[in-house]
Amino acid sequence: MAVQETPVSRRLKTVKHIIIVCSGKGGVGKSSVSAQLALSLHASSPTARVGVLDVDLTGPSIPRMLGLDGHGVHQSSDGWVPVYADALGDGEPRLGCMSVGFLLKKKGDSVVWRGPKKNAMIRQFLSDVRWGELDYLVVDTPPGTSDEHLSLIEHLAPVHSRLSAVIVTTPQAVALLDAMKCLSFTRAVALPVLGLIENMSGYVCPCCGDVSNVFSTGGGTEMARREGVPFLGSMPIDTELVTLLDAAEPTDLSAADGQHDEDSEVRSFGVLQRYQKTSSAKILSAVVENLISTLPLVEHASTSSSA
Ligand SMILES: Nc1ncnc2c1ncn2[C@@H]1O[C@H](COP(=O)(O)OP(=O)(O)OP(=O)(O)O)[C@@H](O)[C@H]1O
Ligand code: SF4
């Protein structure tokens, strides 16, 4: 089946893989996992180019997690320029971000929109952001399955053949029940699932390294086995991660200002360097290896569905 030509397809034809991160329930760490996936994919190869699109329109948290709070979107003649998070002077920028958070007048403002307006915003994000060549576009979504998810599927599924999802859950029964609803949604819209990530799976004591299972354990593995989806890995509760992502300091705009021209919005970035030193980064690099190894499944699924 020929892929339709639309403004979204024209813009995203230089993006190899689009990975939608979703969760059935709020607060399970979906945005933290999205930010960490982007950081770890960026670190997975010296040339990997990664974008993060935050479509959690009513609660955008990716700019804060990447230390990009307070930045505004720059409009070039060829569309919106992502805010780049790589260190200045470190070669070509390879980690770009776009979020409704960059469009809000001030920190803490909220977006109260109905479905059609959200749909229009998402279409504009997909068709107007000048990502350029990307290996991975990680899309952070709101919890549950809402207007934002339907809009993404509506605009992306007909035009992008390497579109997939990752489901984030915590080990508690109630979160797993909601993760099941999320999985049913992906099946209903024929969205291939790369796998399940269990977050907040045990607590590693910073003093002795002992792991305590604060919640029940093994629910994610069991659900993945039962439902026939890959289990990508478990992320323990990491106090270092909370400090890093919740308190990621906005980078100094004045320091970066002299370094960008009209078409390049590159910012100095300490989060990437600090993240690499955390124990979460080491654990997540194994999760990312598993994720990369499941990407061929998406190509297989798209080939069989278009056959
Ligand atoms: N593995 C972890 N260890 C410690 N804290 C974590 C971990 N994962 C997430 N958190 C913390 O839990 C809180 C909620 O995380 P996050 O905002 O990523 O959740 P979410 O599922 O995206 O929430 P929302 O419902 O707002 O979309 C944040 O303070 C985050 O720093
Ligand atoms: S796990 Fe061990 S070191 Fe950590 S708080 Fe408990 S007793 Fe103390």
63 within a domain of the structure (yes/no): yes
2 within a domain of the structure (yes/no): no
CATH number of the domain enclosing 236? 3.40.50.300
> How far apart (Å, rounded) are the C-alpha atoms in residues 263 and 77?
9
Do the annotations mark residue 28 as ligand-binding? yes
221 within a domain of the structure (yes/no): yes
Ligand 1 atom, smallest distance to 140 CA: 22
Ligand closest to CA 64: 1
1 within a domain of the structure (yes/no): no
The total domain count for the chain is: 1
Candidates 163, 158, 234, 149; CA nearest to 194 is 163
234 alpha carbon – ligand 2 mean position (Å): 21
Domain residues for the domain of 92 are 7-306
ipTM of this complex prediction, to 2 decimal places: 0.91
193 within a domain of the structure (yes/no): yes
Regarding the beta carbon of 209 and ligand 2, being less than 6 Å apart is answered no
Along the 307 residues of the chain, how does pLDDT read in single tens digits? 556 689 999 999 999 999 999 998 888 999 999 999 999 999 888 889 999 999 988 888 899 888 888 888 888 999 999 998 875 555 678 899 999 888 876 666 666 677 788 889 999 999 999 999 999 999 999 999 888 999 999 999 999 889 999 999 998 888 888 999 999 999 999 999 999 999 998 887 778 777 788 777 778 999 999 999 999 999 988 888 888 877 655 554 444 433 443 444 444 456 777 888 888 888 899 999 999 998 887 765 655 555 4
212 alpha carbon – ligand 2 mean position (Å): 9
> How far apart (Å, rounded) are the C-alpha atoms in residues 4 and 16?
17
Structure tokens at 177: 């029940």
Burial bucket for residue 182 (CB in 10 Å: 0-12, 13-18, 19+):
buried
Ligand 1 atom, smallest distance to 59 CA: 26
Structure tokens at 39: 């950081």
37 within a domain of the structure (yes/no): yes
pTM for the predicted model, two decimal places: 0.89
Give the HSE-up count for residue 142: Cα atoms under 13 Å, Cβ half-sphere. 19
